[in-house]
Structure 1
């Protein structure tokens, strides 16, 4: 005569909980096999005078289906994340050797050339004033708002011609750009952008990062506002 097991004992084992535990340590197939083994054992050893109710069996089946679905969803998300990482790496690699605008306020002048700079506005501005400032804080050149004109929200790029306010040529070196923007005499949030060249791509746990050299350092793809 087969030994009988009180169904309350197996019920207390909580098949759903056991399935969830298996989900954290095995594959979807292992999870299903573990659940079915527990369920068949419970059915074989249940008290024939008190068989498992249909609702109870349905509930336990629903639990395993839920855990199984979560397991499959996690696998899908892992696959999508891997594809996104691969796509970002390819995108980053395509930027090697390209010039980009990233948050920063530096402008470099050498001989008759200067690096571009940019303006990023959160909202439209009817007046934008740009000042080129030297290392000691002196204003070397003020670009008249009429020259800049009204700007829409977003990113705009500019080039300083390398001259001072008096028309003379500014010496070579590093300068800073200072930007003030208003709309109907109210200040508009603005971010200055500076030029950098992408020298390489560094792979990290958080995704690819662009190597912009010793001065600019490394930035993520989301820092790129414009490709020049």
Structure 2
């Protein structure tokens, strides 16, 4: 039937967006009308075209168009929701947030992490690595079960003051049989921006991006004397 391939191409999901689908449908509809006009002009008077066939195809074109318009409206709704969410996340600017993760920002000579031991450890150590993966500081970690805060002053073990940037904390804990203990990690830092990349919104802590799904809490910024 006239236009079957065109209809399939516009409705089988091969197109990447409603705008492209709409443009493709318009192109196919023009082709359909051209073919239909040609066939009507050259039809056999003794065996005319079945009008029910192209009427049915016109209905199909209309149905595909309605589907495309519905998708466009849905995309617009999603975009509006995201804009509303981003406006809400702007309220986090300048606030301290706690989030799941192990990488945070060293800023003004301070970086903060929290880690949780489900049980007491026989031994526990920590290591702090820079963005290149180089260990710049290390030491013994608290071995008791529970939540523990680790605040780092940005200095290496040799006393060198390191530049601001992203740093990652690794805590290794072991029981009496030398079996590793799972350590829960969170980071704490000040929100400096809001970014959306490929539909995913993140809060920026300097160079570190934290997905909003990983945010556990928000609190007023802590002073150095409080941390």
TM interval, shorter chain, is 0.5 to 0.7
Offset, 1:116: 5.3
Query: 1:100 is paired with a residue of what secondary structure?
Result: strand
**What secondary structure does 2:149 align onto?**
coil
CA distance in 2, matches of 1:225, 1:41: 64
CA–CA distance in 2 between the matches of 1:114 and 1:201? 20
Show the counterpart of 1:52.
49
**How far is the alpha carbon of 1:203 from its aligned partner?**
5.2
Q: How far apart, in 2, do the equivalents of 1:142 and 1:107 lie?
A: 22
Query: 2:139 — aligned with what?
Result: 138
Matched, 1:226 2:217: yes
Contact 2:97-2:190 at 8 Å conserved across structures:
yes
CA contact (8 A) 1:101 1:118 kept: no
Shift of 1:59: 4.5
| 1:15 pairs with 2:3 | yes
Q: Deviations over 1:18-37 (max 9, x none)?
A: 56679746498x67974884
Over the aligned positions, Cα root-mean-square deviation in angstroms equals 4.8
**TM-score scaled to structure 1, two decimals?**
0.54
The answer (yes or no) to whether the contact 2:113–2:150 under 8 Å persists in 1 is no
Which ranges of structure 2 fall in alignment gaps of 5 or more residues? 11-18, 128-135, 157-168, 220-227
Change (3 A) 1:144 1:203: closer
Once residues 126 and 105 of structure 1 are traced to their aligned partners in structure 2, the CA distance between those partners, rounded to angstroms, is 21
- Counterparts in 2 of 1:171-186, with a 5 A limit? 172-173=153-154, 176=169, 178=171
Contact 2:95 2:218 in 1 (8 A): yes
Shift of the 192–127 alpha-carbon distance from structure 1 to 2, 3 Å rule, reads same
1:16-95 aligned at under 5 Å gives the runs: 16-18=4-6, 24=21, 26=23, 34=30, 37-38=33-34, 41=37, 44-45=40-41, 46-53=43-50, 56-57=53-54, 59-95=56-92
Contact 1:92 1:208 survives alignment (8 Å): no
Aligned partner of residue 210 in structure 2, secondary structure: strand
Q: Distance in 1 between matches of 2:197 and 2:22?
A: 27
Deviation at 1:43, TM superposition (A): 7.7
State the distance in 1 between where 2:180 and 2:45 align: 80
Aligned to 2:166: none
| 2:193 corresponds to which of 191, 197, 200 | 200
Q: Secondary structure at the residue paired with 2:48?
A: coil
Query: Any idea what the Cα deviations from partners look like across 1:52-91, whole Å, max 9, x if unmatched?
Result: 3366335423531342133213312321231232123113
2:102 to 104, 108, 132: 104
> Offset at 1:202?
3.8
